Structure 1
């Protein structure tokens, strides 16, 4: 692993278009690209029903940059952005990059304790947030009104090398405290040439992303790809319920839609889902393993227009896309250039095709997380391998299958079991909405599998008994004996984090203490 001080993270692969703008600044590139393609007067965003042109995007970024510069912020300053998705976020983010600062988005819906923890990690020189959070921060807080109403002189684009840090994204913190992964002014175009190209965003598209822009994935969906490619993006400050999201997709004629498996599953519970989703050019799913039963339901509507993708915060977006032209059922497709991958055993040695092991990645945008914003950002050289926490196999012709995190594996009778394989079988039952499987220790000291199942609306208690028997019978008929749950417990809901990911550690803990139950 290589380390370097801030502002000196030169990538070995620098997009030519970044180096061709005089400052090397990503915001100058975006503005120059919009001008060269005649897009300045075209609609870039629709926020709360109001349309904003590409020109308005860059003029707002100028105002934000002036406000930041007027407060002494500049190259290398860390600016925490605690705003919901909307134009204020876009302007603050681009304004920070324009002056060479490092934008650090954070979930604006965090509990105050979580927000304070994020600030301790980021160690920002300034914060952009609503006035309700002002007491949480030791750094000065700029509200959106202060940011866009300063009237100060607009600073020039800060001079940046392709390796100058541009933004830092928080990891989810599901396996420890959240860390910051730094990405450079060159990274977004590399990511766009990989995932943006595979998704195929064009000027004719209207995009909407359920994942927020406080995630690296959401930034690509709602900011980098559409601004680089000239698409329209719909923004929503509040998190929409599935029915409201379907209405938004239909109202704005969305053609490219990004969401998580769980949210797609909830959407399919509405009668209009097939018609609305069927009208999409591309439906992109990411964030957790896509259950096979859900993939079948979505592909029945979308065919190869369903793109199952995989990436990490450390990478910055996706490097695997399973969709049109590279589709294979229940896989994540093949790795996208300029990235590489391999699967290794416990000793770190590559395994043969089809053998399960740890997924490792290599490429020019990988920034492992650091504990504090003031720490020197970490970057791997393009040839260095980054070890993920995911279990995977690679088919002989390069198609990748990811089974979940290595620490999600349950051990039953000394044998490793992937809960997702069992959950896929359970979720094929028409009465099952969600399922989670974990090992529990019986009074005898023996570990056995238990399935926790959320039933669909309308399944009564009398019917539930029959469903339980059918689920156990299906498991016995289709799974190896040690993968068959000993019992099925029906629960009203399963613990998930704020982006919808199943909290398996919480499932295990609540299963152990008996609190996960009816």
Structure 2
């Protein structure tokens, strides 16, 4: 098999080959155009010396170039490696070194010392070639983890994996079909955005609206309006910006508003539901799994949770001895399933998990199987020998009407004692505000145990985030106000 063969056969059987697949800046590709273009790119890649199993790095923005280059690499039996084109040059170099591609596909004028580079335009005119047969357990693409700790890791997925993700998530949770118009704020160089904008729509016959630019609230709302988007994907912090916008009520026209990538706080969920109602569907996934493994659905939804496991994936919560805990007890979240990849072996083969994989999340599971994620284990702060999860404090502060977002971390003073600091981004008004700082500390004193109360509030214009919207807590921990 080859994933591209499976995608095209599904489009043919579903009768949507001639229907729109992608739109961007007035340009449109049908589903048939997508597969024809992939064949041309595959021919050019073969002519450039790319062989089955070679990696092809795609340093491209979301757009038709990305779609055709990705599927062209898969068509040729190569392994597509999406890379964020907005990375700092030093980080981009480290990522390319880790990927070790036979070819890098970039924008016109792009260069990468030590690597063969081609602009997409050089590939699109290739002579089409037949699809290269591959086994279901051959690699088809590899994505980098988002790097919240500063060290991204390459995680391959196999030709059969997107089919598993579609059947487990897109069908029961998203219910995507040919009448849906999809827009993903998360870009295709992340695992979440890749499935949202590539695999799921192609397997469902949906139409995708792409935005090659960095996402802005005004642009996303304009896309929702102009194209009558029915399925929107974004991280919680971006939804916060959308509903805070004067035009945020336009999101009410959506069929579903899916979110993941970080913990959805109770305060934010309540605010989002004022606009989105039961259209809001929250879940969790990891790059290692390849997509969501628990999710709320329209048929099974519980506020305050990340939904229930999506078969064939299973989840459990264990204590520090890896023993399963009782319902509603907080512990370490683990997942088991057929697509979990932990990285690559020295010979380049996929490092598959054959048992329970620890996601790094603190969570609990109730008697009905709904998962509540508390936060990340590596987010824990040590204050006077006591472990504090900053998310609890951050969610409380972010619930204030004048706060857009907050990050809390422990800072050592000159004497070696640690204290909590809260870095706060105001929703509006001046960056500094002594009255608001006092109000936030008073709020924390009222609702939290004393050792969880920040000793100081520092106002900042923004918080550092990854391209997928996750807080880069390791950066915040280096700040010295």
Same fold, TM-score > 0.5, yes or no: yes
Distance in 2 (CA, whole Å) between partners of 1:117 and 1:460 is 35
CA shift in 2, pair 1:190/1:507, >3 Å: same
1:176 Cα shift?
A: 5.1
**Which consecutive segments of 4 or more residues in structure 1 shift more than 6 A?**
none
Matched residue, 2:352: 379
What per-residue deviation string (whole Å, max 9, x for no partner) do you get for residues 27-52 of structure 1?
01111111111111111111212221
Q: In 2, are the aligned partners of 1:83 and 1:108 still within 8 Å (CA)? A: yes
**Any conservation in 2 of the 1:438–1:449 contact (CA below 8 Å)?**
yes
Query: Which among 497, 502, 515 is matched to residue 471 of structure 2?
Result: 502
Q: In the alignment, which of 375, 391, 395 is matched to residue 424 of structure 1?
A: 395
CA distance in structure 1 between the aligned counterparts of 2:270 and 2:168, rounded to whole angstroms: 26
Asked if the contact 2:256–2:280 (Cα under 8 Å) also holds between the matched residues in 1, the reply is yes
Q: CA deviation at 1:239?
A: 1.3
| Cα 1:102–1:441 shift into 2, 3 Å | same
- Match for residue 240 of structure 1? 215
Q: 2:41 aligns with which of 64, 84, 95?
A: 64
Residue number in structure 1 paired with 2:341: 367
CA distance in 2, matches of 1:192, 1:44: 17
1:478 aligns with 2:455: no
CA–CA separation in structure 1 for the residues paired with 2:455 and 2:385: 16
Judge conservation of contact 1:310–1:319 (CA < 8 Å) in 2: yes
Over aligned residues, Cα RMSD in angstroms? 1.7
Shift of 1:468: 2.4
Superposed CA offset, 1:174-224 (max 9, x none): 335322111111100100111112111111110001111111111110000
- 1:442 has 2:417 as partner: no
The whole-number CA distance in structure 2 between the counterparts of 1:131 and 1:26 is: 28
- CA pair 84-336 structure 1, distance change in 2 beyond 3 A: same
Q: CA deviation at 1:459?
A: 5.5
Paired position in structure 2 for 1:392: 363
> Under a length normalisation based on structure 2, what TM-score does the superposition of the two structures give?
0.96
Under a length normalisation based on structure 1, what TM-score does the superposition of the two structures give?
A: 0.89
- Cα contact 1:125–1:139 (8 A) shared by 2: yes
1:219 aligns to 2:194 (yes or no)? yes
Query: Given that residues 168 and 310 in structure 2 are in contact (C-alpha distance below 8 angstroms), is that contact kept between their aligned partners in structure 1?
Result: yes
Match of 2:304 among 326, 330, 341: 330
Aligned residues: 480
- Deviation of residue 444 (structure 1)? 4.1
Q: Find the residue that maps to 1:61 and give its secondary structure.
A: helix
Distance 2:393 2:150 in 1: 27
Residue 335 of structure 1, CA deviation = 0.7
Q: Who is 2:271 aligned against?
A: 297
Alpha-carbon distance in 2 for matches of 1:445, 1:233: 53
Q: Shift of residue 262 of structure 1?
A: 1.8
What is the Cα deviation at residue 322 of structure 1? 2.3
In 2, the alpha carbon distance for the partners of 1:444 and 1:118 equals 39
Q: Which residue of 1 aligns with 2:282?
A: 308
Distance 2:108 2:28 in 1: 26
The corresponding residue for 1:38 is 15
More contact order relative to length (CA 8 Å, sep ≥ 6)? 1
Residues 39 and 130, structure 2, Cα contact 8 Å, conserved in 1: no
- Give distance in 2, aligned partners of 1:430 and 1:440: 26
Residues 122-170 of structure 1 deviation map (CA, whole Å, 9 limit, x = unaligned): 1111111123322x142322211110123x2x22221122111111111
Instruction: Tell me if the contact between 1:408 and 1:418 (Cα under 8 Å) persists in the aligned partners.
Output: yes
Between the aligned partners of 2:367 and 2:435, the Cα distance in structure 1 is: 42
CA distance in 2, matches of 1:217, 1:367: 15
Q: Name 1:19's counterpart in structure 2.
A: none
Say if 2:146 and 2:467, in contact at 8 Å, map to a contact too: no
SS in 1 for 2:328: coil
Gapped regions of structure 1 (runs ≥ 5): 1-23
* Aligned with 2:244 (options 263, 269, 276): 269
> Unaligned regions of 5+ residues in structure 2, if any?
none
The change in CA–CA distance for 1:167 and 1:460 in structure 2 (over 3 A counts) is: closer
The aligned counterpart of 1:102 is 79
CA-to-partner distance for each residue in 1:421-474, whole Å, 9 max, x for gaps?
A: 11111112111111111122234433222222111213686xx33322322222
TM-superposed CA distance for 1:313, in Å, is: 0.5
Which residue of structure 2 lines up, in the alignment, with residue 252 of structure 1? 227
Contact 1:437 1:449 in 2 (8 A): yes
- 1:41–1:54 CA contact under 8 A, matched in 2: yes
SS in 1 for 2:110: helix
338 and 64 in structure 1: CA distance in 2 versus 1, 3 angstrom threshold? same
Q: 2:26 aligns with which of 49, 64, 87?
A: 49
